[in-house]
């Protein structure tokens, strides 16, 4: 297949900033042009200006840098009055999701926290993010997605918003079905407000110890339209990651997969490109 016939996709590494080892692995993959986007957690306790500076240099003009909106524990808010909190931090994902689905969150407090994270991104990088998505997909939930659209429209008008609806729905995995349904709503709202979104999404899988990422990844590319997003979580494990997140060893498995010499040939064989 010729290069001209390939579909360009966005291969996005989530969680930049969660720990030094994860950030270093993501920068390496960007420098080697094995991924072409990463989403930054500005609330992560170890994220630093030096990590922002080295990411900006690594990304150059060939990789996008987005905001990874974070509203779940164990991370802490940047705005001074955010509620509800659990021991000074955001509630865990399930508890936040329940509150969003029942519309129990306070819109003004969501707006303030999202604005604070966007302002922190601008402070670190000297500009608005290229796009916005959410840690643990929290941004696709009602109330949160509504607030994000309100704030992004004014604070980052050139940014696009990641929606998580799949191009191919060939399994009944519950997580994917929920994301599909919530993303359809988010897409409608974004279109009505003139905020662009990606046409399709892939990359979700059950984070089980025996997951075969090398087998799963080609399935993510199946029938993806031009401009689609494939989410990934490459990284290396350090003490900070182990303290903050249960997703550890699988990150190293993904990192090894993208680092392998065969990866560019796999993309070409499936008719996609990152360039």
In whole angstroms, give the CA distance from residue 225 to residue 229.
9
- For residues 77 and 84, give the distance between their C-alpha atoms in angstroms, rounded to a whole number: 10
Q: Grade residue 2 by pLDDT with cuts at 50, 70 and 90.
A: very low
Looking at the predicted structure, is the pLDDT value of residue 21 above 50? yes
Q: How far apart are CA 119 and CA 112, in angstroms?
A: 10
What does the domain layout of the chain look like in residue ranges?
3-267
Residue 241 CA to residue 191 CA, distance in Å, equals 36
Band of pLDDT at residue 170, cut at 50, 70 and 90? low
Q: For residue range 4-16, what is the model confidence (pLDDT) as tens digits?
A: 578 999 999 999 9
Confidence of residue 167 (pLDDT cuts 50, 70, 90): confident
C-alpha separations of 202 from 30, 136, 208, 243 in Å: 19, 14, 17, 27
pLDDT single digits (tens) 115-143: 999 999 999 999 999 999 999 999 999 99
Q: Give the model's pLDDT for residue 4.
A: 53
Supply the pLDDT for residue 172: 57
Of the pLDDT bands very low, low, confident and very high (cuts 50, 70, 90), residue 1 is very low
What's the rounded Cα separation, in Å, for the pair 250 and 236? 9
Q: Are 18 and 41 in contact (CB under 8 A)?
A: yes
Angstrom distance (rounded) from CA 132 to CA 197: 10
The average pLDDT across 232-257 equals 97
Task: Indicate the length of the chain as a whole number.
Answer: 275
Partners of 161 in beta bridges:
132, 197
* Predicted confidence (pLDDT) per residue in 30-84, tens digit: 999 999 999 999 999 999 999 999 999 999 999 999 999 999 999 999 999 999 9
3-267 in CATH: which number? Answer: 3.20.20.370
CA atoms of 273 and 100, how far apart (whole Å): 37
b/e code 117-145 from CB counts within 10 Å (16+ = b): bbebbbebbeebbbbbbbbbbbbbbbbbb
Determine what percent of the chain is predicted with pLDDT higher than 70: 96
- How far apart are the C-alpha atoms of 86 and 99, rounded to whole Å? 13
Task: Indicate whether 201 pLDDT > 50.
Answer: yes
Q: Report the alpha-carbon distance of residue 251 to residue 51 in Å, rounded.
A: 19
Measured between alpha carbons, how far is 260 from 235 in angstroms, rounded to an integer? 14
Average pLDDT over all residues of the chain = 95
- Evaluate if residue 169 carries a pLDDT over 70: no
Average pLDDT (202-206) is 91
Tell me what pLDDT residue 178 has.
85
Q: pLDDT confidence of 177, banded at 50, 70, 90? A: confident
- Say if residue 161's pLDDT is above 90: yes
**Which helix H or strand E contains 199, and what residues bound it?**
none
Q: How confident is the model at residue 113 (pLDDT cuts 50, 70, 90)?
A: very high
β-sheet bridge partners, residue 38: 13, 65
CA distance 226 to 8: 5
Cβ atoms of residues 23 and 53 within 8 Å: no
């Amino acid at each position: 297949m010729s290069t001209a016939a390939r579909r360009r996709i966005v291969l996005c590494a989530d969680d930049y900033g969660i720990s030094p080892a994860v950030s270093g692995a993501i920068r390496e993959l960007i420098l080697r042009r094995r991924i072409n986007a990463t989403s930054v957690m500005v609330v992560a306790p170890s994220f630093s200006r030096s990590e922002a500076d080295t990411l900006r240099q690594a990304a150059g003009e060939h990789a996008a840098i987005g905001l990874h909106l974070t509203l779940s524990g164990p991370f802490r808010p940047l705005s001074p009055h955010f509620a509800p909190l659990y021991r000074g931090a955001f509630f865990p994902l399930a508890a936040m999701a329940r509150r969003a689905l029942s519309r129990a969150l306070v819109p003004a407090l969501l707006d303030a926290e999202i604005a604070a994270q966007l302002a922190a991104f601008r402070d670190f990088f000297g500009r608005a993010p290229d796009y916005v998505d959410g840690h643990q997909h929290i941004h696709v939930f009602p109330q949160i997605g509504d607030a994000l659209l309100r704030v992004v429209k004014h604070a980052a008008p050139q940014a696009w918003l990641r929606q998580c609806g799949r191009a191919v729905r060939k399994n009944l995995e519950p997580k994917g079905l929920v994301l599909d349904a919530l993303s359809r709503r988010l897409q409608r709202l974004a279109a009505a407000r003139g905020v662009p979104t990606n046409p399709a999404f892939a990359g979700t899988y059950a984070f089980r110890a025996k997951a075969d990422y090398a087998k799963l990844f080609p399935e993510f590319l199946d029938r993806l339209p031009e401009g689609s997003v494939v989410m990934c979580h490459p990284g290396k494990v350090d003490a900070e990651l182990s303290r903050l997140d249960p997703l550890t060893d699988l990150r190293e498995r993904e990192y090894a997969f993208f680092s392998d010499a065969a990866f560019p040939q796999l993309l070409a064989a499936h008719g996609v490109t990152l360039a």
